[in-house]
């Protein structure tokens, strides 16, 4: 057991050192801030799409389908989701409110 304990301590120490090197050298996955993401530069479609996906209101497949149909139907993202039956009116209002987006189309109530 003493030998096994020494091996585990050595393994732990090695992993701590590797983690420290990764942090110091910024190797591997980089951590970015919200400023790096330029969230303010994201358009309304992207904001609403993210909101609906994060809150499990639509699936990834529905999101992709709605994005493709936008160009064909010449409608905004929420209008397409409503037309395809992916979301209801209440969910669309919540998405707009959560993202501080003003309605520009005729489905405003």
pLDDT, one tens digit per residue, over 22-47 is: 766 654 455 444 455 555 556 888 88
- How far apart CA 102 and CA 44 sit, in angstroms, is 10
**Contact in structure between 77 and 87 (CB atoms under 8 Å):** no
Q: In this predicted structure, what is the pLDDT of residue 41?
A: 55
Please state, as a whole number, how many other Cβ atoms lie within 10 Å of the Cβ of residue 3: 7
Report the Cα–Cα distance between both ends of the chain, in Å, rounded: 71
Residues 6+ apart with CB under 8 A from 66: 49, 58, 77, 80, 81, 84, 86
Higher pLDDT, 66 or 17: 66
């Amino acid at each position: 057991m003493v030998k096994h304990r020494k091996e585990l301590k050595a393994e732990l120490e090695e992993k701590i050192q590797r983690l420290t090197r990764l942090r110091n050298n910024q190797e591997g996955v980089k951590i970015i801030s919200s400023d790096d993401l330029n969230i303010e530069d994201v358009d309304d479609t992207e904001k609403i799409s993210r909101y609906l996906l994060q809150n499990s209101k639509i699936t990834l497949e529905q999101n992709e389908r709605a994005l493709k149909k936008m160009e064909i139907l010449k409608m905004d993202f929420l209008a397409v989701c409503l037309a395809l039956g992916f979301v209801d009116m209440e969910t669309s209002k919540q998405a707009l409110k959560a993202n501080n987006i003003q309605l520009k189309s005729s489905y405003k109530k």
